[in-house]
Amino acid sequence: MPFGLCSSVPAFERLLETVLIDLTWRACLVYLDDFVVFSEDLPTNLVRLKQVLERFRAAGFKLKMKKCNWGRY
C-alpha cells in the first residue's frame, strides 16, 4: 500500500479486522495498523498469539520482528 494515501490506513485497518474477524474483542484488538493480543494468563496468551499469527500467515502478511513487542502488559 503506497504511503501518502489518506485512505490507506483505514483500508488496512479494515483488512486486519476482516482477517481477525472472530478473534477481535475476544482475543485481540486492532487499532489503525497495530494489534494487541490479550488474555488473563501466559498460556492462554500464547494460544491466542498463535491463532493470530496463523491468520496472518494464511493472509500472506509479513511482520517486522524489530517492530514487534512481545510479552508486554
The answer to whether residue 56 sits within a structural domain is yes
For residue 13, the enclosing domain spans 8-62
State the pLDDT at residue 31: 87
DSSP secondary structure letter of residue 33: T
The answer to whether residue 51 sits within a structural domain is yes
DSSP secondary structure letter of residue 24: B
Model's pTM, two decimal places? 0.79
The answer to whether residue 2 sits within a structural domain is no
pLDDT bracket for residue 33 (50, 70, 90) = confident
CB half-sphere exposure, 48, CA atoms < 13 A: 22
The answer to whether residue 45 sits within a structural domain is yes
The answer to whether residue 68 sits within a structural domain is no
Q: How many structural domains are present in the chain?
A: 1
pLDDT surpassing 60 at residue 60: yes
The answer to whether residue 53 sits within a structural domain is yes
CB atoms within 10 A of CB 29: 15
Question: Look-up: residue for cell 517492530?
Answer: 67
pLDDT surpassing 80 at residue 7: no
